[in-house]
Amino acid sequence: MNATADQKKASPLSEPWYTFPVTIRRAYAEAPNVMTYDFEFDHHADARQYAFAPGQFNMLYVPGAGEAAISIAERTNQDRFLKHTIRTVGIVTRAIAKGGVGMSLGLRGPFGTRWPVDSFSDGSVKRDVILVAGGIGLAPLRSLLLFLIEHREKVGSVSLLIGARSPEDVVYESELHGWRENGVEIHVTVDRPDQNWRGHVGVVTLLLGRIAIPRPQSTFVLTCGPEVMMRYVAKSAINSKIPTENVWLALERNMNCAIGLCGHCQLGPKFICKDGPVFRYDQVRDLLGVQDF
């Protein structure tokens, strides 16, 4: 399976500014300053034509405030809802948090590349898959994890390594048990434990060094989190004899148009919005180390 096939574009919208009206139907507190929202399309026709792949993102639009690029965490409730997990950090995300359930807003998407889901099995070979998330970087991996659970029998072992600043910053914590029951090996580590914490302490890359990787040549590592963390994850994976082309990551840059025409998200030869956000590590390795690039 090659990268270009894996990174197949979502069908480009003929009208790039076409905005779906959506409404927030549910909102859950996920962690301090982090909320998960379920958005429902206002029109059934929009819901019917909408389809995304794990790793892609939407532009959420609050009229008067602007747009924010947010990864798609899940499609749920018979495809009625699109789930997004959002850190309340800027003008748009604050407006969404303030609006809450019942808020009307706009959505463009889906945009960007997807995780290489077709590479995890080819006939007889089932690959082991390790997901490494830093903080809210678990959100873009969530749709991939749900995909892996849905197709659990087609892949080898599935591991999820989560790093968070503190125990209360772990997102989707209430769901971890269910994911474990569905055959996902999960390890959580925090930087700053509280009195009740009995788990790992330290950076998530150390977990990657501790778990068993019995078949590195048939193992994929997919990561999302702070860029410096992802560089260490990739380095650590390659040190563990996992092939470079099996290491994938999702990058963040300023996104304005989401279709590669506004220039904001450029990283050397790439536009993160259309050539990414999901990249094979070796496609961006040389650029990630350049300061302020």
Partner 1 sequence: MSSSTLEEPCLIEKCELDRLIERLKCEGFIVVGPYVEDSAIQYREIQSMRDLPRGYRDTQEPGEYRVAKLLKKNYFEFNLGPHSWKQFLFPPKLTVNSCTKKNESWEFISKVDSQPKFAFLGVRACELAAIQVQDRVFMEGPYVDPVYQARRESTFIVAVNCTVAASTCFCTSMGTGPKCKSTFDLALTELDCGFVVEVGTARGRSMISDLTTRELDPEHARDSQLLQQRAVDQITKRLDTSEILNLLMGNLDHPHWDEVAKRCLSCTNCTMVCPTCFCSSVTDVSNLSGDEIERQRQWDSCFNVDFSYTTSGTVRDDIRSRYRQWLTHKLASWHDQFASSGCVGCGRCITWCPVGIDLTVEVAAIRNTPSSNRTLPVIQPSCKAECAFPKDSKA
Q: Does 36 bind partner 1 (CB under 8 A)?
A: no
- By the rule CB under 8 A, 109 interacts with partner 1: no
6 near partner 1 (CB under 8 A)? no
Burial 98-133 (b: 16+ CB within 10 A, else e): ebeeebebbbbbbbbbbbbbebbbeeeebbbbbbbb
Beta carbons of 82 and 72 less than 8 angstroms apart: yes
Report how many residues bind partner 1 under the rule CB under 8 A.
81
Site string (143-182) toward partner 1, x via CB under 8 A = --------------------xxx-----------------
User: Candidates 24-32, 75-83, 130-138, 144-152 — which segment interacts with partner 1 by CB under 8 A?
Assistant: 130-138
Binding mask 64-103 for partner 1 (x = CB under 8 A): xxxxx-xx-------------xxx-xx--x--------x-
Residue with tokens 């580590």: 189
The reply to whether 52 sits near partner 1 by the rule CB under 8 A is: no
Residue 243, class by beta-carbon neighbours within 10 Å (0-12 exposed, 13-18 middle, 19+ buried)? middle
CB of 261 to partner 1, least distance (A): 6
**Of 66, 112, 61, 58, the residue nearest 271 (C-alpha):** 112
How far is residue 106's CA from residue 253's CA, in Å, rounded to a whole number?
A: 21
3-state secondary structure of 292: coil
* Contacts to partner 1 from residues 194-233, by CB under 8 A: 202-203, 205-206, 209, 224-229, 231-232
Report the residue number, 105 or 144, with the smaller CB distance to partner 1: 105
